[in-house]
């Protein structure tokens, strides 16, 4: 037992002495969570817009004020014609132009027109959706404030405004989606990449042969090298949860203990993947390349972290089922955002547990002891 603890301490010494490793393990998670939480976001905020008001009545004035006061939009200027709108679009000054037709309040069939810069179609869709929601909310508020009964009746004839409730993420913050994905990416980065590189480094330096001639069994040597990365991964999970809760205001609606348990299970899958890569790669560069191509890219592209899996072709949806991060991200969202219990994520936990067993068996069969 003392020898086993000594091997673990030796691995910790190796980690703490290597500044590059320490930078990746401790600093990179903080940088990633801040980047995805603040800089890399799909949220609409303070987008410059212009308003072409041909009606210039009380209703359009108040709706324009609502748009300008919204956190989503920033009124760049009021314009007098569509030619000016086209010029602003070409110059990149605005992303959206709201056009109110003449006699907007007194015409039951009159609708506001939204002109959006669709060079980014996803952003254009979001802009028009947000603007429609703000206009509908403003019209509903104005209905009870108009002084003229005729104007109130005309506005009410324009149609029924649907009431929308956004469950789990009422403010539509992008961090709610990115935090689980970043957790999956960081655990893969630390557990799989660092474990595979660490073991291959021992092979390259010739110290693996020295370790293997010790009284310690080879399996205990591998476990001793994996335990430090598992413990550091738990520290990183705690750091991410702390930053996401206090800085990004992402709630932890479910059980914190269950969330940590799922994270440890996923970390074990990542460690097993790292062990498998170490049996394939002969150099540190090869281990890093395999980790990047086989692990990190699928996590980013096929886990649902960035792109919705439902929108992918059928073949990619099928391939995504063998990406561990997909099941981990689903489980984390169910626990953190939806507040579900363990019974709701039994499928995801079962798949991750199966992956651990399968990868351990495969890695042991491929593990070669060079004496």
pLDDT mean over 191-220:
76
How would residue 176 be classed by pLDDT, with cut points 50, 70 and 90?
Answer: confident
Burial of 110 (0-12, 13-18, 19+ CB in 10 A): middle
Average pLDDT over the chain reads: 82
pLDDT mean over 132-146:
75
Residue with tokens 């009606």: 55
Rounded to an integer, what is the distance from CA 113 to the centroid of its chain?
33
pLDDT mean over 192-221:
76
pTM attached to this predicted model:
0.76
Rounded to an integer, what is the distance from CA 288 to the centroid of its chain?
23
Q: Domain ranges for the chain, please list them.
A: 2-40+173-366, 47-156
How would residue 145 be classed by pLDDT, with cut points 50, 70 and 90?
Answer: low
pLDDT score of 275 = 86
Of 1-5, 83-87, 150-154, 340-344, give the lowest mean pLDDT range.
150-154
Predicted confidence (pLDDT) at residue 304 exceeds the cutoff of 70: yes
The per-residue pLDDT for range 275-288, each reduced to its tens digit, is: 888 888 888 888 88
Burial of 179 (0-12, 13-18, 19+ CB in 10 A): buried
Which one, of 259, 44, 261, 242, lies nearest residue 132 by Cα?
44
pLDDT score of 161 = 46
How would residue 370 be classed by pLDDT, with cut points 50, 70 and 90?
Answer: very low
Q: Which fold has domain 47-156?
A: abc type-2 transporter like fold (3.40.1710)
pLDDT score of 323 = 92
Q: Which residue has the higher pLDDT, 51 or 289?
A: 51
Radius of gyration for the alpha carbons in the chain, expressed in angstroms and rounded: 28
pLDDT score of 164 = 58
How would residue 315 be classed by pLDDT, with cut points 50, 70 and 90?
Answer: very high
């Amino acid at each position: 037992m003392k020898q086993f603890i000594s091997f673990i301490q030796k691995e910790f010494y190796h980690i703490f002495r290597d500044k590059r490793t320490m930078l990746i393990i401790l600093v990179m998670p903080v940088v990633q969570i801040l980047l995805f939480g603040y800089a890399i976001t799909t949220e609409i905020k303070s987008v410059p817009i212009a308003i072409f008001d041909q009606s210039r009545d009380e209703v359009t004035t108040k709706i324009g004020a609502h748009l300008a006061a919204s956190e989503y939009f920033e009124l760049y200027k009021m314009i007098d014609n569509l030619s000016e709108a086209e010029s602003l679009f070409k110059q990149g000054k605005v992303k959206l132009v709201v056009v109110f037709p003449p006699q907007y309040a007194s015409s039951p069939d009159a609708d506001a027109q939204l002109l959006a810069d669709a060079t980014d179609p996803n952003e254009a869709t979001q802009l028009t959706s947000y603007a429609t929601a703000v206009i509908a909310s403003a019209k509903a508020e104005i209905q009870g404030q108009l002084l003229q009964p005729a104007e109130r009746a005309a506005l009410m004839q324009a149609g029924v405004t649907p009431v929308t409730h956004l469950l789990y993420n009422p403010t539509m913050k992008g961090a709610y989606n990115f935090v689980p994905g970043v957790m999956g990416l960081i655990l893969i980065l630390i557990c799989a990449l660092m474990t595979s590189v660490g073991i291959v480094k021992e092979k390259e330096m010739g110290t693996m042969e020295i370790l293997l001639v010790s009284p310690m069994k080879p399996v205990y040597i591998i476990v001793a090298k994996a335990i430090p990365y598992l413990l550091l991964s738990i520290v990183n999970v705690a750091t991410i949860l702390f930053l996401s809760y206090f800085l990004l205001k992402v709630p932890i609606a479910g059980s914190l203990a269950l969330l940590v348990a799922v994270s440890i299970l996923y970390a074990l899958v990542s460690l097993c993947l790292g062990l498998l890569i170490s049996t394939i790669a002969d150099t540190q560069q090869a281990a890093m390349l395999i980790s990047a191509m086989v692990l990190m890219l699928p996590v980013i592209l096929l886990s649902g972290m960035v792109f919705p899996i439902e929108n992918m072709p059928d073949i990619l949806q099928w391939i995504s089922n063998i990406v561990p991060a997909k099941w981990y991200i689903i489980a984390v969202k169910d626990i953190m955002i939806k507040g579900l219990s363990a019974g709701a994520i039994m499928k995801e936990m079962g798949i991750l547990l199966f992956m651990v067993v399968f990868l351990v068996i495969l890695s042991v069969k491929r593990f070669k002891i060079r004496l």
